């Protein structure tokens, strides 16, 4: 069966390659939710040992056998699994990517980014385009949701850890080292993927991992496995209220895009006030292009618009925002082989 034949709507739209692309967009809800279920229930890891029936899998994961079987049947449409005549499911080469031990594992990505906290916000894009204001910190916002559903916060931390892991891989492959070192404060660093890398890069440095309590849930185990737990302190809190003082290097990685300019300035201002004189700030973001060319940063900008009332920014916009808080740009390092990241390093100015 061809890809076009495995779509609900492609033939209605004419059956062409272009129709198939549009149909896949329309069917995105189904595709995404099937991927999330396969991810969250660890189906790929269970099937790694060999084919299993839906009933056998359901017993292992504590699921309803009929419902899981229907999800698995749908997963076979998307070629994540295949079913034999005996009703047993086996992994395909695509499904292998959901195994935890896969070198390019997608485990955690679907489970974190397609959970109810973000899914509900994405479905409201039409209202946002009409002018509805999004406030993630207000009742019903994503931050309140994660606070009330810590298990969802853990899934999101895993997804962000996977993304940050790819970033760390790029930093390591490029040989990047920050201009500043010493006492590193990772603001909003979740489980500590980036901080662990920075501490391993500079064995003389120490670190503080600062984030909401629920976001730090997996940090102790991760930092221990990275061999840096003895040099990293976990501090729970809100960076809107303040950040730990006395740092030589403050790190904001994929954090400022969560906020509008006013709140982003509040976060940066807190870093500036807490910093040691002459300290540094390292900002890593998906940076929008200056020209009209397509960029994956535009897709992330849409997520920021609907979920967090934040935005992606150009290099000049980021430099201006930092400048209004007392920081001067000293180095700009593109890190865009995989995603449109840039590492912008700023120097603390008196004031």
- Residues 67 and 203 grouped into a single domain: no
Q: Identify whether 203 is part of a domain.
A: yes
Q: How many domains does the chain have?
A: 2
107 domain-assigned: no
* Chain centre to alpha carbon of residue 27: 23
- CA 101, distance to chain mean position in Å, is 19
Q: Are residues 76 and 135 in the same domain?
A: no
Kindly state whether residues 243 and 344 are assigned to the same domain: yes
DSSP letter assigned to residue 315: H
The pLDDT-based confidence of 3 (bands split at 50, 70, 90) is low
Torsion region of 237: left, alpha or beta (phi above 0 gives left; psi -120 to 50 gives alpha): left
Task: Check: CB of residue 137 under 8 Å from CB of residue 321.
Answer: no
244 and 177 in one domain? yes
Is the residue at 241 inside a domain? Answer: yes
Last residue of a domain, one of 64, 84, 100: 100
Predicted local confidence at residue 110, as pLDDT: 81
Given a cut of 80, whether residue 212 has pLDDT beyond it is yes
Over residues 169-199, the pLDDT tens digits come to: 999 999 999 998 899 999 999 999 999 999 9
Task: Please state, as a whole number, how many other Cβ atoms lie within 10 Å of the Cβ of residue 183.
Answer: 20
Q: Cite the active site residues.
A: 257
Instruction: Looking at the structure, tell me whether residues 131 and 71 fall in a common domain.
Output: no
Per-residue model confidence (pLDDT) at position 164: 87
Q: What are phi and psi of 249, to 5 degrees?
A: -135, 120
What domain range is 64 assigned to?
Answer: 4-100
Specify whether the backbone of 311 is left (phi greater than 0), alpha (psi in -120 to 50) or beta: beta
Q: Please indicate, yes or no, whether residues 142 and 216 belong to a single structural domain of this protein.
A: yes
pLDDT, residue 38, reads 93
pTM above 0.85, yes or no: no
> What tokens were used for 136?
């993630």
CATH number of domain containing 240? 3.40.50.150
Contact predicate 111/43, CB 8 Å:
no
- Is residue 106 assigned to a domain? no
Q: How far apart are CA 303 and CA 102, in angstroms?
A: 27
Q: Are residues 170 and 55 in the same domain?
A: no
Give me the DSSP letters along 244-258. -S--SEEEEES-GGG
Please state the φ and ψ torsions of residue 113, each to the nearest 5 degrees: -85, -15
Residue 112: inside a domain: no
**Phi, psi for residue 282 in degrees, rounded to 5:** -110, 120
Residues 254 and 340 in one domain: yes
Q: Which residues pair with 341 in a beta bridge?
A: 286, 335
Identify whether residues 77 and 185 lie together within a single domain: no
**Among 57, 84, 100, which residue terminates a domain?**
100
Average pLDDT over residues 82-95: 95
Closest CA relative to residue 190, chosen from 116, 110, 108? 108
113 domain residue, yes or no? no
Residues 255, 161 share a domain: yes
Task: For 276-325, write each residue's pLDDT tens digit.
Answer: 989 999 999 999 998 888 999 998 998 889 888 899 999 999 999 999 99
Q: Which of 104, 54, 49 is nearest to 75 (CA)?
A: 54
Q: Is it the case that residue 119 has pLDDT exceeding 90? A: no
The answer to whether residue 292 sits within a structural domain is: yes
143 shares a domain with 258: yes
Specify whether 47 is located in the same domain as 151.
Answer: no
């Amino acid at each position: 069966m061809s890809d076009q034949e495995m779509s609900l709507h492609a033939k209605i739209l004419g059956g062409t390659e272009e129709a198939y692309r549009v149909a896949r967009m329309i069917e995105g809800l189904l595709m995404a939710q099937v991927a999330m279920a396969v991810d969250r229930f660890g189906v790929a890891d269970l099937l790694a040992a060999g084919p299993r029936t839906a009933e056998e899998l359901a017993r292992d994961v504590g699921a309803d056998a009929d419902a899981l079987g229907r999800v698995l049947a749908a997963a076979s449409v998307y070629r994540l699994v295949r079913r034999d005549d005996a009703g047993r499911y086996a992994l395909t080469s695509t499904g292998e990517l959901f195994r935890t031990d896969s070198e390019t594992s997608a485990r955690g990505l679907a489970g974190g980014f397609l959970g109810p906290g973000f899914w509900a916000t994405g479905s409201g894009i039409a209202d946002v385009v009409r002018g509805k204001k999004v406030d993630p910190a207000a009742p019903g916002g994503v931050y309140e949701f994660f606070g009330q559903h810590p298990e969802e916060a853990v899934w999101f931390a895993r997804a962000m850890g996977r993304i940050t892991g790819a970033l760390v891989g790029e930093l390591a492959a490029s040989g990047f080292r920050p201009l500043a070192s010493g006492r590193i404060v990772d603001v909003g660093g979740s489980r500590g993927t980036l901080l662990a890398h920075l501490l391993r890069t500079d064995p003389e440095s120490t670190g503080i991992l600062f984030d909401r309590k629920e976001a730090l849930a997996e940090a102790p185990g991760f930092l221990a496995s990275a061999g840096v737990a003895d040099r990293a302190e976990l501090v729970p809190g809100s960076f809107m209220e303040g950040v730990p003082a006395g740092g030589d290097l403050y790190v904001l990685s994929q954090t400022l895009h969560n906020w509008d300019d006013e709140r982003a300035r509040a976060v940066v201002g807190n870093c500036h006030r807490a910093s040691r004189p002459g300290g540094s700030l390292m900002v890593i973001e998906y940076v929008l292009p200056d020209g009209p060319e397509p960029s994956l940063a535009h897709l992330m900008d849409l997520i920021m618009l609907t979920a967090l009332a934040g935005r992606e920014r150009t290099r000049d916009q980021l430099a201006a925002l930092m400048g209004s808080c007392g920081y001067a740009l000293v180095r700009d390092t593109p890190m865009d082989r995989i995603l449109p990241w840039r590492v912008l390093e700023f120097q603390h100015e008196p004031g």
